Amino acid sequence: MTEPRARHLVEAPRDGASAAPRLEAAVFDLDGVVTLTAHVHRAAWKEMFDQFLAARPRAAGEDHRPFTEADYLAHVDGRPRSDGVRAFLASRGITLPEGAPDDPPGAETVQGLARRKDERFLALVERSGVEVDHGAVRFARDLRAAGVRVGLASSSRNAGLLLRRAGLASLFEARVDGVVSADLRLRGKPAPDIFAECARRLGVTDLARALVIEDASSGVAAARAGGFGLVIGVDRGGNWLRLREAGADWIVRGGDELTVAGAQALVAGRERARPNALVAWPEIAGELRGRSLVVFLDYDGTLVPIAPRPEQAVLDDATREVLRRLSRAWPTHIISGRGLEDVRGLVGIDSLWVAASHGFDIDPPPGVAGGLKPAAELEPEIHRAAGELRQVAAAIPGALVEDKRFSIAVHFRLVEPARVPELEHAVDQAIARGAGLKRTRGKMVLQIEPDIDWDKGRALRWLIHATGASGSCPIFIGDDFTDEPALAAVADDGVGVLVTELPRPTAARYSLQNPLEVRILLERLAAHRPEGH
């Protein structure tokens, strides 16, 4: 499955976040962040180790299988060459003499193998050149234009050569590379020495006001250990969970997803950020020990990424299969702002209870008695208001009105900002011409709901009682402002998780970045078994 890309970090800080610490410096890793040479390093390591292992005589306790992607990520990625050689050889039960830094590439020593790898890397670069992440370069230049100092910290002794070959020699105001590290006897990653030294050279005195951008879990762990205010991981594919568990605050697929405003907002919002639920899983698992579960899930922004149009938010097969396994293990329910038929069709699992229209249309699985429509008498008013709004929206490009039987969504994500007030006025007029309706807040959507004391939180509690789940630990995962009542409803006796790109005030105790991370958490919940079960 193609993992979802994180959306661009562009949202401005809210609720006084501008008074929080301001970003002063950024330290970039080189390979895999600024230059797309990580695959070249990977190829050089594999070529060198595979030849070494194939030629080495068999010995008891030694593993001579070819070098793998997992080996690269676990043992050598981001580390100084000699540290990578030692770590990989130890994982295979192989011991070699240390040797000296000037050992020739053919020497059967740690330093000799490190030299051999370096020769292969330089030969590959000579043949293929240096590819650059232009988004990362643009981000570095934007940071400097905004008054943020920018430096580079790399384990590579070839950093200067690569920057010159890429035409980026003047991009960074300070550089700490493998040559500097050797001269100063700095420890390699996962020790924080090279990042701290680079920050010192940039004049940073408070590392809480500095960020690090890394693509290796060892580098993320180093930045975390150094006390930097923000650690951004770059996942080029398959390394997301390693980066998260190493301590990355945010993960992107490339530099084009980074903006100065987003970075500033993340630094400013650290105090109100909630612990990531994947990183905090041992804590959550401890809390769940001995308890049965009942799980409630929002749909848009939680199980699927937010899409430009509602019909484009389609559940992928991998997540649907995880949902099936979860629902077989524990009672699982959907609480969504979508209409009932819509959400049932998209989820495609008949065994789930669904609370649609923000909880105003609760429907049991086929063959199960029950259900609740707490504002059934207002259905004609909803249809009347939706009809009026469709006439207005027809004249506004990008506007979309959804009549969801017990609520209305007026989407303006694709509407020119200058025309959004027209929609707001139309919504207010539609409410004023009727009775018993109110306007509520959502992400890029104007919502109309029945004006009664009901919300997703009350729907959640009703479902717990109606399905006989009292005494179970309720878990709710959602992303929107309309999910806050449900997050508050589980705050005392359950687990609330907010799916969010930037920290914001919330009743949730934990956070996740996107639906990919939601899927990983659901896999863990599906595997959860209380003691005695």
pLDDT at 7: 36
Virtual CA dihedral for 344, 348, 351, 353, nearest 10 degrees? -30
Lowest mean pLDDT among 7-21, 33-47, 257-271, 515-529: 7-21
298 given a catalytic annotation: yes
Domains of the chain: 17-37+131-272 (3.40.50.1000), 38-128 (1.10.150), 281-370+456-525 (3.40.50.1000), 376-450 (3.30.70.1020)
Between 434 and 322, whose confidence is greater? 322
Q: What percentage of the chain reaches a pLDDT higher than 90?
A: 77
C-alpha atoms less than 13 angstroms from C-alpha of 428 in its C-beta half-sphere: 6
pLDDT of 10 over the 50 cut: no
Contact yes or no for 393/385 (Cβ under 8 A): no
pLDDT tens track for 301-344: 999 999 988 889 999 999 999 999 999 999 999 999 999 999 99
pLDDT (0 to 100) of residue 217: 93
Q: Three-state SS for 162?
A: helix
pLDDT at position 8, please? 36
- Stretch 175-191: mean pLDDT: 94
- Among 39-48, 81-90, 339-348, 406-415, where is mean pLDDT lowest? 39-48
Average pLDDT over residues 185-207: 95
Contacts of 32 (CB under 8 A, 6+ apart): 38, 215, 216, 234, 236
Can you tell me the distance from the alpha carbon of 64 to that of 487, in angstroms, rounded to the nearest whole number? 52
Looking at the predicted structure, is the pLDDT value of residue 533 above 80? no
Lowest mean pLDDT among 17-21, 58-62, 116-120, 468-472: 17-21
Instruction: Give the residue among 192, 220, 320 at the shortest CA–CA distance from 279.
Output: 220
pLDDT reading at 12 higher than 60 = no
Q: What is the pTM of this model?
A: 0.81
| 280-306: pLDDT as tens digits | 999 999 999 999 999 999 999 999 999
Distance CA 272, CA 260 (A): 20
Report whether pLDDT(22) > 80.
Answer: yes
Residue 6 pLDDT class (50, 70, 90 cuts): very low
Sequence-ordered strand ranges (E) for 343-463: 353-356, 361-363, 400-403, 408-411, 437-442, 445-450
Percent of the chain whose predicted confidence (pLDDT) is above 70: 95
Shortest CA distance to 31 belongs to which of 236, 196, 199?
Answer: 236
pLDDT for position 9? 40
How many Cα neighbours within 13 Å face the side chain of 472?
A: 21
The pLDDT score that the predictor gives to residue 2 is 36
Q: Taking Cα atoms as reference points, which of 351, 293, 355 lies closest to residue 324?
A: 351
Q: What mean pLDDT do residues 259-276 have? A: 89
Each residue's pLDDT tens digit, 390-428: 999 999 999 999 999 999 999 999 999 999 999 999 999
Burial pattern 166-181, b for ≥16 Cβ within 10 A else e, equals bebeebbebbbbbebb
Q: Which of 29, 31, 298, 403 is catalytic?
A: 298
Q: Can you say how many angstroms the Cα of residue 128 is from the centroid of all Cα atoms in its chain?
A: 32
Strand 353-356 and strand 361-363: pairing? antiparallel
DSSP secondary-structure letter at 26? E
Residue 16 has pLDDT above 80, yes or no: no
The tokens for 16 are: 């006084």
pLDDT average, residue stretch 145-162 = 93
The residue assigned the tokens 């959400």 is 343
Q: Which amino acid is at 387?
A: G
pLDDT at 131: 87
Q: What is the pLDDT of residue 532?
A: 45
Give the C-alpha separation, 271 to 208, whole Å: 11
Calculate the average pLDDT of the chain: 91
- The two beta strands, 408-411 and 210-214, are unpaired
CA distances from 308 to 14, 300, 423 (A): 23, 11, 17
